[in-house]
Amino acid sequence: MNVAVTKTRAEQALLQGFEQVAGVLPGAVWVRAAREKALGAVEALGLPHRRVEEWKYTDLRAALKEAFPPAVASAGKVAEPPSPEALAAAIGPELATMAAIRVMIRNGRFAGIDGAARLPAGVVLAPLAEALSGRTDEALESAFAVEVDAARQPVIALNTAYATDGVRLAVSPGVEITEPVHVVFLADASGPLAVTTRNVIDIGPGAKVTIVESHAGAAGVALQANTVTQINVGDGARVAHLKVIAEGERALHLGSSLVKLGADATYRAFELTAGVGLARNETMLSYLGENTAADVSGMALGRGSAHIDTTLTIDHVAPACESRELFKYVLDGEARGIFQGKVIVRPDAQKSDGKQMAQALMLSEAVEFDSKPELEIYADDVVCGHGSTVAEIEPDLVFYCRSRGIPLEEARALLIDSFIGEALEKVEDETLREAFAAVARRWLEA
């Protein structure tokens, strides 16, 4: 017998609101069909809740009390870019001024590309809204529509239904982009806003690129953000993918990275979450070719009532691949941190090498850290392991610092900085590492 589940107020608003904005959402006929199919999946599944195993620590149905008005954007309609001062205030002067090809997405709408003329031949960089409404792009069509069919993922389905804009990046085989491609998602609307963005990225064989995502909000902005980044990495390509999520204490952030790796490729990902109300950062990574290495790491800084959930699925489909994951949490006040890391080794993925570690530093007695590492191994010639630790600041180390004239708060900050330093070292580019460290320092100083 089928039992109908009553829709929450937010779920009803999400379903009913689509028809009000469908006419101004970008895309050709096939896009509209994909959106309607995705909305059907949302209606069937509802928002994920604690009875869904992957969401047992983050009950989105309970957390999302109401659905904010969705941002809308049409192809060709360009938003006004923020001033340099506003940009620096939102993402920090280090990220705002670093040399990069910068793409601005403001309140869900494309707001310009700075430095496009410096891109080498063989690179397509365009607003997603423009790409969805343009000529046939089989890779884009496959990426935009297939994920809803492939898994029971209502958050991704919701993204497909409501996505307004983002980035379409395609890099031809053997091409190197020497500067980072920096995509800035800025929310500074005067009232509550739901922003849904999508990035579809194809990196050709032997290409090399660094992609940076900055998700930021103006002070006090009430935001519900749903962002999906899909990356296909060709054979022998090298990709660095970094994110900073700092949208403010009134923000709810749902971020999904869907990554497919070819043979002999290298993929390094790093995410920093600092200053957000609720964040769910999910990475689903699959090895489709042999001899590929991936490092997916990051850190989460939470205070007050912040709730930060990092969920990983690392799927070793092909043999002789390496995966590394290291995540550091610093929690204060009544913050809650969650780490769910699943490594799957398929029967044909012999000689897989996977290691995973999650560590939390608890600065108050009221914080909570839930760690759920998992290994599913169906092959016999593998090296896999995982670990998790939770600790407080060691009083003896604080005493040691104070005995040398260092004030208490400065001593604590030094020890916290030392704790997160191991994670920051995962960022290979020195300029980006310093920029991310500056974001962390500002959080600590606050």
- Average confidence (pLDDT) over 153-177: 95
- Beta-ladder partners of 368: 336
User: With 80 as the cut, is the pLDDT of residue 148 above it?
Assistant: no
The predicted pLDDT at position 1 comes to 40
The predicted pLDDT at position 316 comes to 98
Q: How confident is the model at residue 74 (pLDDT cuts 50, 70, 90)?
A: low
DSSP 8-state symbol, 230: E
Q: How confident is the model at residue 72 (pLDDT cuts 50, 70, 90)?
A: confident
Q: What is the overall mean pLDDT for the chain? A: 93
CB count in 10 Å sphere of residue 398: 16
Q: Got the DSSP string for 35-73?
A: HHHHHHHHHHH-S--TTSGGGTT--HHHH--SPPPBP--
Q: 196: closest CA among 230, 167, 224?
A: 224
Q: How confident is the model at residue 5 (pLDDT cuts 50, 70, 90)?
A: low
Q: Which of 114-123, 149-158, 430-439 has the lowest mean pLDDT?
A: 149-158
Give residue 46's identity as a one-letter amino acid code.
G
- Average confidence (pLDDT) over 277-301: 97
- Asked if 107 contacts 53 with a C-beta cutoff of 8 angstroms, the reply is no
User: With 70 as the cut, is the pLDDT of residue 87 above it?
Assistant: yes
In percent, the amount of the chain with pLDDT more than 90 equals 81
Beta-carbon contacts of 385 under 8 Å, excluding residues fewer than 6 positions away, are: 354, 355, 356
Top-confidence residue, 227 or 133: 227
What pTM value is reported for the model? Answer: 0.95
- Asked if 70 contacts 196 with a C-beta cutoff of 8 angstroms, the reply is yes
- Asked if 235 contacts 266 with a C-beta cutoff of 8 angstroms, the reply is no
The 10s digit of each residue's pLDDT in 302-323 is: 999 999 999 999 999 999 999 9
Beta-carbon contacts of 83 under 8 Å, excluding residues fewer than 6 positions away, are: none
The predicted pLDDT at position 146 comes to 64
DSSP 8-state symbol, 116: G
Residue 48 — left, alpha, or beta (φ > 0 → left; ψ -120 to 50 → alpha)? beta
Q: How confident is the model at residue 444 (pLDDT cuts 50, 70, 90)?
A: confident
- Which of the given ranges, 30-34, 42-46, 98-102, has the highest pLDDT on average? 98-102
Phi (first) and psi of residue 430, to 5 degrees: -65, -40
The 10s digit of each residue's pLDDT in 185-211 is: 999 998 999 999 999 999 999 999 999
Distance CA 376, CA 126 (A): 39
The 10s digit of each residue's pLDDT in 358-382 is: 999 999 999 999 999 999 999 999 9
Q: How confident is the model at residue 147 (pLDDT cuts 50, 70, 90)?
A: low
Determine the distance from the C-alpha atom of residue 189 to the mean position of all C-alpha atoms in its chain, rounded to a whole number: 22
User: With 80 as the cut, is the pLDDT of residue 77 above it?
Assistant: no
**Rounded (10°) CA dihedral 231, 237, 238, 243:** -10
Q: How confident is the model at residue 73 (pLDDT cuts 50, 70, 90)?
A: confident
Q: How confident is the model at residue 150 (pLDDT cuts 50, 70, 90)?
A: very low
- Average confidence (pLDDT) over 238-253: 97
Distance CA 384, CA 402 (A): 41
User: With 60 as the cut, is the pLDDT of residue 4 above it?
Assistant: no
Distance CA 62, CA 179 (A): 42
- Asked if 229 contacts 201 with a C-beta cutoff of 8 angstroms, the reply is yes
CB count in 10 Å sphere of residue 248: 19
On the 0-12 / 13-18 / 19+ scale of CB atoms within 10 A, 120 is exposed
The predicted pLDDT at position 76 comes to 61
- The kind and range of the H/E element at 269 are strand 266-274
Distance CA 222, CA 177 (A): 35
In percent, the amount of the chain with pLDDT more than 70 equals 96
The 10s digit of each residue's pLDDT in 407-443 is: 888 888 889 889 999 999 999 999 999 999 999 999 9
- Asked if 341 contacts 358 with a C-beta cutoff of 8 angstroms, the reply is yes
**Strand ranges (E), 275-321:** 276-287, 293-302, 307-316
User: With 70 as the cut, is the pLDDT of residue 383 above it?
Assistant: yes
